[in-house]
Structure 1
Amino acid sequence: MKRTTYLSALIFVFAFFLSANLFAQKRDIYELKTYHITSPAQEAMLDSYLEKAFIPAAHRLGIAKVGVFKPVSSQADAGQKVYVFIPFKSLDALAAFEEKLLKDQKYLTDGVAYVNAAFDNPPYKRIETSILQAMTGQPKFTESTLTGPKKDRIYELRSYEGPTERLYKQKVKMFNSGEMDIFTRLGFNAIFYAETIAGANMPNLVYLTTHENMEKRDANWKAFGADYKWVEMRDMEEYKNTVSKNDTRLLYPTDYSDF
């Protein structure tokens, strides 16, 4: 009888961890690429490639949405970077993507200027890549509900770096336990919230919110700072000193961006 009970307990524990693992696998995986460019010519070449070759090929390969963003004119790196956001359903899908891309003959034809660029005329200076996993509080990306002109929108990309892994995890817990809900209630239109699993500045989390324009963005943050729930969470002992650096990028979407 005791042996039967013991085996039943083992099966229950195994099933619990298996189901937890399967649930975890349902969280999106994101690739966030930052192209560093040095001239308008590189920017034009990159825009043409992304719009006419890369994004259509990504759609053919099952990537429903690809986001392309650039720093607004007030940013110090305006004209120097292009951000590309690519959501995947799993790490396996991400790992297989490039090989599939290079087997797509239409992609190779449409993107020939980029793919076969000469060594002395490259379409970028460097590429910086981060691999992210969606947080449990929002396991899938969402589309912005904004309807105003893309040229006026502000997409705010933030990275919160933690001083230690433990404190970083507390900040992730803070997002999953209520901070996301505040953003939703105040109309921040978040595209994603994610943990960096490979990239620079770890440990850090990354999230992207959207606003109709700069005035609306400023008003949203003012409301957030005064929000009763945020003040309550901010002052909780377990969430103190969890962010050592806030890196904020103000971006706008290209006309051909899916987001």
Structure 2
Amino acid sequence: MKRRSFVKGSLISGAAAAIAPVAAVAQSKPLKDKIPYIEHYELRVYTFKDERQQKITEDFYREVFVPMMQQKRYETVGVFTELNPAGQTKLYVLIPFNTYVHAEGLYYFLEDNKDYWARGAAYLNAPADNPAFEHLETSMLKAFKHMPSKQIPAREKRIFELRQYKSASEAAGKKKIEMFNDKGEIDIFKRLGFKPVFFGETIIGNDRPNLTYMVTFKDMEDKAAHWKAFGGDPEWKKISAVPEYADALLVSKITSTMLVPTDYSGI
């Protein structure tokens, strides 16, 4: 099997079944009349064993992928490294899509793009005995209805916190999302100046059910001040005091990762 065919199949095979009903709706009525505008996000997390691997992968995103998205797809791609890595940093890549269907369009666009495969050869065709990365974890996220599209912070001194809340059951995960969407938790983040970038439910990926979101700070001191304000906020205390919204019932694990944007990141 050709490498490109394998890549294409692995990326879109899961999406094809979900996209088929969308196509049927589009034939009967305009898509906008049936399906709300909700962004989706592909989150890629790379693990490297050394600087050589990181350089190959970062060169690919800096010189090939990000410019191509800007020129051809008009997508704002975020690329981040860890603020305080334990050893070789991981690389986080956030690729937004206007809708889930646009993700398939991107994969088809890249499949037969000769310029993409030629310019990205060091990464895309790295040999098995000298790979460009050790591990790649990919998730697809669906934006929350109360914040259906990303918000890009100003290009100034900034760090990001990527938080993931894992739940023990599908029902618990939906209940936690309800707190963000319907009970005002997203509004609290905005009112307190967290400058959220996105909130998303993981629909494809590991450790489901979970939700993931990204917020913005000037520095670690700013982060501490914001979370202190959040914990003492009267509206948050009111929401979190409701027995059915207790974290012990809805959240089994919280993961927080502090990130810094690369010099070529669009976010």
TM-score range relative to shorter protein: 0.7 to 0.9
Task: Pick from 162, 168, 174 the counterpart of residue 173 of structure 2.
Answer: 168
How far does residue 22 in structure 1 lie from its aligned partner after superposition? 4.7
Structure 1 residues 23 and 175 mapped into 2: Cα distance closer, same or farther (>3 Å)? farther
Task: State the distance in 1 between where 2:83 and 2:263 align.
Answer: 14
Structure 1 residues 189 and 116 mapped into 2: Cα distance closer, same or farther (>3 Å)? same
Task: Pick from 203, 206, 209 the counterpart of residue 209 of structure 2.
Answer: 203
Query: Which position in structure 1 is the counterpart of 2:96?
Result: 87
Asked if residue 194 in structure 1 is aligned to residue 200 in structure 2, the reply is yes
Task: Pick from 213, 220, 225 the counterpart of residue 226 of structure 2.
Answer: 220
Query: Which position in structure 2 is the counterpart of 1:69?
Result: 80
How far does residue 19 in structure 1 lie from its aligned partner after superposition? 10
Kindly provide the CA deviation profile for residues 171-201 of structure 1, in whole angstroms up to 9, marking residues without a partner as x: 1010012000000011111110010101111
Percentage identity across paired residues of the two chains: 36
Task: State the distance in 2 between where 1:20 and 1:159 align.
Answer: 31
Task: State the distance in 1 between where 2:179 and 2:33 align.
Answer: 23
Query: Which position in structure 2 is the counterpart of 1:15?
Result: none
Asked if residue 252 in structure 1 is aligned to residue 265 in structure 2, the reply is no
Cα root mean square deviation, aligned: 1.9
Q: Which amino acid aligns with 2:243?
A: E
CA contact (8 A) 1:57 1:104 kept: no
Q: Which amino acid aligns with 1:208?
A: M
The count of residues paired between Structure 1 and Structure 2 equals 236
Q: Which amino acid aligns with 1:186?
A: L
| Superposed counterparts of 1:86-105, under 5 Å | 86-105=95-114
- Residue 61 of structure 1 aligns to a residue whose secondary structure is helix
Task: State the distance in 2 between where 1:85 and 1:27 align.
Answer: 16
Task: State the distance in 2 between where 1:59 and 1:231 align.
Answer: 42
CA contact (8 A) 1:29 1:134 kept: yes
Asked if residue 157 in structure 1 is aligned to residue 162 in structure 2, the reply is yes
- List runs of 5+ in structure 2 lacking aligned partners: 1-28
- Residue 27 of structure 1 aligns to a residue whose secondary structure is coil
Kindly provide the CA deviation profile for residues 203-233 of structure 1, in whole angstroms up to 9, marking residues without a partner as x: 1111011111111011100110111111110
Kindly provide the CA deviation profile for residues 134-186 of structure 1, in whole angstroms up to 9, marking residues without a partner as x: 000100111113x433xxx3210011111221121111010012000000011
Q: TM-score, length-normalised on structure 1?
A: 0.85
Task: State the distance in 1 between where 2:257 and 2:215 align.
Answer: 11
Structure 1 residues 32 and 237 mapped into 2: Cα distance closer, same or farther (>3 Å)? same
How far does residue 238 in structure 1 lie from its aligned partner after superposition? 2.5
